[in-house]
């Protein structure tokens, strides 16, 4: 709008600010700096008419977001399409689609599983086909009389160390005379679906079902004429991580009449491993240990009570390091165990009556309506009720498998899995 000639606020000159001399004082306010400032003028249209607008560089205007038009007084260049962020503000997260996150997680999980399987099941670690042969301690044939339980063990030591091994009369072997009625003197084999009797071994398979307790378990009562018919075996005949196979395959590869899953020793970094008189690993773990001696006796030890050199000197033949022990040193049932897996589960275990007489126990579990399994305390009571003096828990769960006459005898949880070792009975010398 036009200015009133008498208005004291009227500027001394109508010259636009962009045409003023460089060092002239601003109109109406000589106290300000020589350089004119936009807000030093009254609020009025700086461009009275289109013709008075200054000619600016078109490229400079376009670079500031304008379109061939100078900015109005007191305005800022328009904001760009991307939001401006202050330095104090955190960066805004990138919105990744959910399907991409799912795919990325699946790929990471798959790679992790492949690496785990590669190092734990494919690449053998510290593989051995033979161990250090332990010294043989000659034994006399044990008598039918039982002796007292030695200190530090949980079973009577019915064998004695001697300098000679007298030839056993009749059937021969360490236990041939003691259990003469259990074997066929003529060497013939009598076999049914649940029994096997020859000149060397006598086996009886039993299946027990208790619908009220939702329980099914199997036992194999074992008599052997000599210790050489009680053996252990590794998958692929090799001790070491990565060497695994199904129980039935390992058993059939060694012509086993009966077999049970072992302690999965190759899956652990420590634990005493003595198999068939050979020492494969001496490092101890925190688990209870079962030792079978060359006289056929068995004893269980805690980590604190086990003296490796002593059991080797005494004539160790087999050892297992899974546990826990299920009967105390006096053969009584227990209520506390060296294990964190005490609730009902599939179980694999071995019991000892006396030298030459043993029992394999396989409990199916995790299958409601068929069998839920047994707790450690229930297993301990069961072995006590069967009359065992020593009992020891082996690797259970999905590993728990029993074979008889070349076939799987039980119903393994989820079909079973490959393991590293077995305990088996053979009829071959």
pLDDT category, 152, cuts 50, 70, 90? very low
Res 383 pLDDT > 90: yes
**Residue 235 falls within a domain, yes or no?**
yes
**Residue 123 falls within a domain, yes or no?**
no
Res 127 pLDDT > 90: no
Of 51, 74, 97, the residue that ends a domain is: 74
**Residue 347 falls within a domain, yes or no?**
yes
Cross-strand pairs, 289: 301
Of 74, 91, 109, the residue that ends a domain is: 74
pLDDT category, 144, cuts 50, 70, 90? very low
Beta strands in 321-377 (DSSP E): 347-354, 357-363
Write down the pLDDT at residue 159.
39
Write down the pLDDT at residue 102.
85
**Residue 353 falls within a domain, yes or no?**
yes
312 lies in the same domain as 388: yes
**Residue 118 falls within a domain, yes or no?**
no
By residue range, what is the domain housing residue 148? Answer: 128-426
Separation CA 143–CA 178 (nearest Å): 7
Tell me what the pLDDT averaged over the chain comes to. 81
pLDDT tens for 277-316 read 999 999 999 999 999 999 999 999 999 999 999 999 999 9
Separation CA 238–CA 217 (nearest Å): 30
139 lies in the same domain as 286: yes
64 lies in the same domain as 183: no
Res 167 pLDDT > 70: no
140 lies in the same domain as 58: no
Separation CA 68–CA 52 (nearest Å): 15
pLDDT tens for 33-73 read 455 555 554 555 555 555 555 555 555 555 555 555 555 55
Separation CA 412–CA 366 (nearest Å): 9
164 lies in the same domain as 36: no
Q: What is the mean pLDDT of residues 17-24?
A: 54
306 lies in the same domain as 400: yes
Write down the pLDDT at residue 149.
37
Nearest Cα neighbor of 178 from 290, 296, 258, 351 is 296
**Residue 338 falls within a domain, yes or no?**
yes
Of 74, 89, 107, the residue that ends a domain is: 74
40 lies in the same domain as 162: no
**Residue 116 falls within a domain, yes or no?**
no
pLDDT tens for 193-202 read 999 999 999 9
Write down the pLDDT at residue 96.
77
Q: What is the mean pLDDT of residues 349-371?
A: 98
49 lies in the same domain as 133: no
24 lies in the same domain as 148: no
Write down the pLDDT at residue 5.
58
Write down the pLDDT at residue 130.
78
Write down the pLDDT at residue 131.
87
Residues sharing a CB contact under 8 Å with residue 337, sequence separation 6 or more, in sequence order: 324, 325, 326, 376, 377, 380
pLDDT category, 339, cuts 50, 70, 90? very high
pLDDT tens for 395-407 read 999 999 999 999 9
Domain count, the chain: 2
Confirm whether pTM is higher than 0.75: no
157 lies in the same domain as 277: yes
Residues sharing a CB contact under 8 Å with residue 44, sequence separation 6 or more, in sequence order: 1
Q: Are 207 and 218 in contact (CB under 8 A)?
A: yes
**Residue 87 falls within a domain, yes or no?**
no
Write down the pLDDT at residue 425.
98
Of the given ranges (137-141, 222-226, 371-375, 381-385), which has the lowest mean pLDDT?
137-141
């Amino acid at each position: 709008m036009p200015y009133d000639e008498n208005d004291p606020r009227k500027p001394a000159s109508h010259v636009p600010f962009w045409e003023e001399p460089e060092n002239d004082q601003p109109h109406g306010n000589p106290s300000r700096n020589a350089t004119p400032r936009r807000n030093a003028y009254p609020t009025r249209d700086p461009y009275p008419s289109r013709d008075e607008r200054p000619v600016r560089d078109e490229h400079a205007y376009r670079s500031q977001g304008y379109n061939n038009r100078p900015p109005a007084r007191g305005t800022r260049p328009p904001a760009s399409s991307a939001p401006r962020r202050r330095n104090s503000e955190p960066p805004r997260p990138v919105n990744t689609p959910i399907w991409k996150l799912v795919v990325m997680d699946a790929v990471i999980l798959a790679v992790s599983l492949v690496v785990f399987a590669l190092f734990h099941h494919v690449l053998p670690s510290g593989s051995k086909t033979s161990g250090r042969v332990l010294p043989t301690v000659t034994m006399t044939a044990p008598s039918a009389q039982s002796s007292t339980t030695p200190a530090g063990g949980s079973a009577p030591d019915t064998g004695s160390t001697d300098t000679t091994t007298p030839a056993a009369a009749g059937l021969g072997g360490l236990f041939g005379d003691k259990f003469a009625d259990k074997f066929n003197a003529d060497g013939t084999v009598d076999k049914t679906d649940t029994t096997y009797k020859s000149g060397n071994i006598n086996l009886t398979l039993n299946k027990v079902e208790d619908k009220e307790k939702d329980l099914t378990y199997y036992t194999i009562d074992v008599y052997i004429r000599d210790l050489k018919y009680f053996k252990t075996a590794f998958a692929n005949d090799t001790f070491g991580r990565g060497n695994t196979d199904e129980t039935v395959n390992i058993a059939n590869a060694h012509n086993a009449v009966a077999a049970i899953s072992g302690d999965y020793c190759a899956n652990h970094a420590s634990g005493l491993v003595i198999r068939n008189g050979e020492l494969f690993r001496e490092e101890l773990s925190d688990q209870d240990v079962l030792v079978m001696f060359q006289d056929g006796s068995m004893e269980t030890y805690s980590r604190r009570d086990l003296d490796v050199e002593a059991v080797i000197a005494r004539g160790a033949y087999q050892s297992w390091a899974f546990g826990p022990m299920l009967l105390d040193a006096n053969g009584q049932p227990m209520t506390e165990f060296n294990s964190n897996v005490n609730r009902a589960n599939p179980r694999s275990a071995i019991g000892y009556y006396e030298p030459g007489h043993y029992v394999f126990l396989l409990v199916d579990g995790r299958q409601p309506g068929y069998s839920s399994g047994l707790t450690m305390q229930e297993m301990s009571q069961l072995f006590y009720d069967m009359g065992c003096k020593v009992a020891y828990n082996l690797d259970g769960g999905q590993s728990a498998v029993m074979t008889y006459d070349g076939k799987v005898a039980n119903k393994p949880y989820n079909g079973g899995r490959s393991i590293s070792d077995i305990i088996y009975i053979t009829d071959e010398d």
